[in-house]
Structures are given as C-alpha cells and as structure tokens.
A and B are shown apart, each in its own frame.
Chain A
C-alpha cells in the first residue's frame, strides 16, 4: 500500500517535470502507459531506455533520477566484472588444489596378440578437504550472482543491460588475460 502510494506520487511527478520526462515518455510509450494502468503488465517485455521508477532486484531499491541510474550502472558493471573474476578464480583454484592423482592400469589386447597395459590417470579432491569446501562456497556465490545478473537483465532496462554486457566483457578481458591456456567448451550458460 505504501509502495503504490509512492508510485502514484512519482507518476504525478512525471507529468509535472520538465522536457526530459516527456521525452522519456515519448520514446518508451509502452512502458509509461503500462505504469499508469498498474494492474496489467507491470513488467516490461521489450527493451526501453529510462530511469524513472525502475525497480532493481529488491523492493526498496527504486531508481528515480539520472544520478541513481548512473550509480546503479556502476554497481551492475562491477557485479558483472566480479562474476567473471569469480569464474576465472575458481578455475585456477581448482587446478592448484588437485593433489590426488590416481593411476588405474588395465590390460588391453594389442596388435599381434600381445597384451598392453593401459594406464588411466584421474585427478580429484577429497570430499571434506578445505579446497573442496571453499570451491562449494564459491560455487554458491557464483550461482547467486549469475541469477542476480539474469534478473537485472530481465528488467529490460537498456542502461542496465548495457552495464551487464560491458561488465562481462571488461571482466573477461582483465581476468582471462593470463588464463590463455585453459579452454573449456563444455560449460553451458557460462
């Protein structure tokens, strides 16, 4: 109830402020129209550029001014950079902590009827070791951050989507600089 009152106030504010508000309502007509309806299509389903009454992830986090949008842009950008760094960091941590190497040898038939010994090498971690627990904690953080980025992209706000993409590119550029040797094409949804 309090929130809808706040939305009404900010909607009145739209109509009485100067040109930028009208320009915003002209370029994203569907979005402001949906706001005034308020009971259908609260969530935009197409991309728009705007910074009035943008809800971001949590109920208390509403962007109303250009300054707040700039701050949100920087925060989302840093979150995406952090996500890329976390990915690369987990990879390097995994490689450093792989201590146990097990060899399995099994006889296989070779040419001319001889028997060859085929050796399989597997690397792994113990389940209760500290590196694995750390990996698990970092995995949880990575999953949560990735879902947050997905939800931010789902606001369909053009500025925030650009922040996510630019942050991902910048994070990849800086953190993957030295990780040239590791190539993993089996990961999905990065």
Chain B
C-alpha cells in the first residue's frame, strides 16, 4: 500500500465489489463518498435536533431553557422523565442510539475511504463535509 496521496483512477474502496478502474467510475465513486460525507454531517445535526424536539414534546426542560432559568432561579430540576412519559422517552432514546450507531459507522467508513490515499476520494470527503456542514447547520436553528 502506497503511503502517500496519489492521483489515480484505480482504487478499491471498502468492499471487494467496489473496485474503480475508469474515470467515469472514479467520478461516480467521488460523488457517492461526497453524499456519504453530507449524510454524516446531517446526521450529526439531525441527532441534536431530534433530541431537542423530543424533549420539547415530552415537556422536559431543554438546555437552553435551563440556561435562561439558572440566571434567576438555581433550582436543580431533575431531567429524567417521570410517569407515563418514561416509555416514550425510552423509545426515543433507543432511536437516538440507533442514529448514533449509524453516525459512528459512517464516520469510520469515511476514515477508511480517506485511508485509501486516493486524492480524488479525499477531495470528495472534504467537499462533502463542507457542503453537509453548510447545509445542515441552519437546519438546527430552524427548530
């Protein structure tokens, strides 16, 4: 394995069946890796937004509300839900955990794609991260 960045049209990415050997295949692979990076950034933001939405819907005070409260009133309210919302919170948190697993796996896949030391793939990952961050961040503000 070459240990420096090279420009090449031939690379094998992640799986045995994903072997690239033409410029068109490389363009397509770069696009796939770019979309993967966009997905990774949007999962990061989406997880936070889902958590916020779930907390609001289950009427548990969120961090922003707590920050506004602590300036006036320093009562330590317990953040764990009680009563019948507990099951709903359990399901929501289980869903959050699955999203977290997806985020971890996609993050590692991107690391392994960059590890192929192919410069086009590297550009795809970086560009995808930039585009994903740029598009996903305003999403969080639109709660």
User: Least Cβ distance of A82 to chain B in Å?
Assistant: 14
A181–B66 touching, CB < 8 Å: yes
Enumerate chain A residues within 8 angstroms of B100, measured Cβ to Cβ.
Answer: 168-169, 172-173, 176
Instruction: Specify which of A43, A165, A166, A173 is in contact with B1 (CB 8 Å cutoff).
Output: A43
A180–B79 touching, CB < 8 Å: yes
| Chain A residue at smallest Cβ distance from B78 | A178
A182 at the interface (CB under 8 A from B): yes
Contact pattern, A 20-42, Cβ under 8 Å of B = 1, otherwise 0: 00000000001000000000010
A169–B98 touching, CB < 8 Å: yes
Taking A164-B108, A169-B104 as contacts, is the C-beta distance between A181 and B1 under 8 angstroms?
no
Taking A180-B51, A180-B55, A182-B63 as contacts, is the C-beta distance between A45 and B104 under 8 angstroms?
no
B63–A183 touching, CB < 8 Å: yes
B103 at the interface (CB under 8 A from A): yes
A173–B94 touching, CB < 8 Å: yes
B116–A185 touching, CB < 8 Å: no
B103–A185 touching, CB < 8 Å: no
A181–B79 touching, CB < 8 Å: yes
Q: In the complex, how many residues of chain B place their beta carbon closer than 8 angstroms to a beta carbon of chain A?
A: 38
Q: In the complex, how many residues of chain A place their beta carbon closer than 8 angstroms to a beta carbon of chain B?
A: 30
A177–B93 touching, CB < 8 Å: yes
A46–B111 touching, CB < 8 Å: no
A5 at the interface (CB under 8 A from B): no
B93–A46 touching, CB < 8 Å: no
Instruction: Specify which of A43, A156, A182, A190 is in contact with B103 (CB 8 Å cutoff).
Output: A190
Taken together as a complex, chains A and B put the C-alpha atoms of A31 and B66 apart, in Å, by: 54
| Chain B residue at smallest Cβ distance from A28 | B16
Enumerate chain A residues within 8 angstroms of B60, measured Cβ to Cβ.
Answer: 180-181
User: Least Cβ distance of A182 to chain B in Å?
Assistant: 6
Enumerate chain A residues within 8 angstroms of B103, measured Cβ to Cβ.
Answer: 190
B48–A185 touching, CB < 8 Å: yes
Enumerate chain B residues within 8 angstroms of A173, measured Cβ to Cβ.
Answer: 93-94, 96-97, 100
B14 at the interface (CB under 8 A from A): yes
User: Least Cβ distance of A30 to chain B in Å?
Assistant: 6
Within 8 A of B (CB), among A152-180: 153-154, 156, 161, 164-166, 168-170, 172-173, 176-178, 180
A189 at the interface (CB under 8 A from B): yes
User: Least Cβ distance of A85 to chain B in Å?
Assistant: 13
Of B12, B79, B104, B112, most buried by chain A (CB within 10 Å of CB) is B104
| Chain B residue at smallest Cβ distance from A45 | B12
7 contacts between A and B (CB under 8 A): A165-B101, A165-B104, A165-B108, A169-B101, A173-B100, A183-B51, A190-B103
Enumerate chain A interface residues (CB-CB to B < 8 A). 30, 41, 43, 45-47, 150, 153-154, 156, 161, 164-166, 168-170, 172-173, 176-178, 180-185, 189-190
